[in-house]
Amino acid sequence: MLIMLDKFGIAKRIAKEIKDGYYVNLGIGIPTLVANYIPEDINVVLQSENGLLGMGPFPYEGEEDADYINAGKQTITTLPGSAFFDSAMSFGMIRSRKIDLTILGAMEVSENGDIANWKIPGKMVKGMGGAMDLVASAENIIVAMQHVNKHGESKLLPSCTLPLTGVRCVKKIVTELGVFDVLPEGGFKIVELHEGVSLDMVRQSTAGKLLY
């Protein structure tokens, strides 16, 4: 029986991509869950663009501190040696490419690595947040997302239909179906399929060019 990965499973798989010594920015949504699955035998520093280095796992219920939040305004914990600073310094770190890996959610990704994750036309948004700075500056971007939208339509597309956040920047995608590299010449290359997922399922769920 096929049991699709939920958002926690996607986050757990992405945590395997993090290497010792990395400085990592976690975007809003599924990416924030990655903090709970970082292997204990590696040293990783999590950065939040609202002004924090050294973010820890989510707090247990009853142990939350409302002053400690991530960019998505969720309560978090801090680790020994963590530091707080203003947005100017935070975005200075991002724009000067001090972040080794950025993990973001997305509404759409194109086969060329374009990403749309900040706005749906006609819907109110508070602002673009830090996503555009992150995708313009990061050397390594992994997207955590569902493979299809709520209407069953592919989110891995030949080209994005929503307003772009960044162009040719996504390197890897992890969905409930598998792990995919975005190739420089274009196309989604299957790296691995999750247990029980067939190639036909991926073909039917992928509108963009699929390589395997």
State the pLDDT at residue 126.
63
DSSP codes joined into one string, the chain: ------HHHHHHHHHTT--TT-EEEE-SSGGGGGGGG--TTS--EEEETTTEEEE-PPPPTT---TT-B-TTS-B--EEEEEEE--HHHHHHHHHTT--SEEEEE-SEEETTS-EE-S--TTS--S--TTHHHHHHH-S-EEEE--SB-TTS-BSEESS--SPPSBSS---EEE-SSEEEEE-TTS-EEEEEE-TT--HHHHHHH--S-EE-
Q: Which residues are catalytic?
A: 49
12-68 pLDDT, tens digit each: 999 999 999 999 999 888 998 998 999 989 999 999 988 999 999 899 999 999 999
Q: What percent of the chain has pLDDT over 70?
A: 95
Residue 118 binned pLDDT confidence (cut-offs 50, 70, 90)? confident
The model's pTM: 0.91
